[in-house]
Amino acid sequence: LKNTIVLITGDHGEAFFEKGLTGHNEGYSSEIVSVPLVLYVPGRGPESFTYLTSHLDVAPTILQMIGCRTSPGSYSQGHLLFDKNIERKYVVASSWSDMAIIDSKETIVMPLELYRIPRIIVYDKNYKEMESSHYSKERVGKINTTLKGLALFLK
């Protein structure tokens, strides 16, 4: 282990009716998107992080540890896991048919199929559908930024 990086995580959680959902591809509640991540790095002591991270952060972190000096922004939307100066405002998650923009206040779920585009649903922090999910300037900004970011890697 003195020269081996070990990563243990899961790709998603499971819902057992906590919020009326069951399974692993049914929504974006915390039970489904919050998964443990354990990373052993030789020579690095134990730490615990509570700030918002994403699976997208794994590749840039490990690539930097093995000597890659290319800026993560040129190949990933992820950040370095150990960089506490990065304040991520939200994360993006997706399934086969939709994607979500998740922050501490709400989850915006958008379909990936073009025929369902008008169906954007906003959930509160407890994953209850919000009555008034109007398109505020902040929401539209998050959606636009996310879509532009995704387009960077479509070539």
Nearest in space to 106 (alpha carbons), one of 95, 121, 85:
121
Tell me what the mean pLDDT of segment 69-82 comes to: 87
Decide: helix, strand or coil at residue 97: coil
Residue 14, both tokens: 């499971």
Query: Which of 23-27, 72-76, 138-142, 148-152 has the weakest average pLDDT?
Result: 23-27
Residue 114, both tokens: 């073009």
What is d(CA 93, CA 77) in angstroms, rounded to the nearest whole number? Answer: 12
pLDDT for 108: 92
What is d(CA 142, CA 148) in angstroms, rounded to the nearest whole number? Answer: 10
% the chain with pLDDT above 90: 22
Decide: helix, strand or coil at residue 149: helix
Tell me what the mean pLDDT of segment 49-64 comes to: 89
pLDDT for 47: 87
Residue whose token pair is 């169906």? 119
C-alpha separations of 64 from 78, 134, 148 in Å: 12, 41, 25
pLDDT for 132: 64
- Amino acid found at 23: G
Question: What is the band of 130 on the pLDDT scale with cuts at 50, 70, 90?
Answer: confident
Residue 61, both tokens: 């972190």
- Helix, strand, coil shares of the chain, percent, nearest 5, are 25, 20, 55
Residue 12, both tokens: 């998603």
pTM (predicted TM-score)? 0.81
Residue 73, both tokens: 């922004």
Question: What is the band of 68 on the pLDDT scale with cuts at 50, 70, 90?
Answer: very high
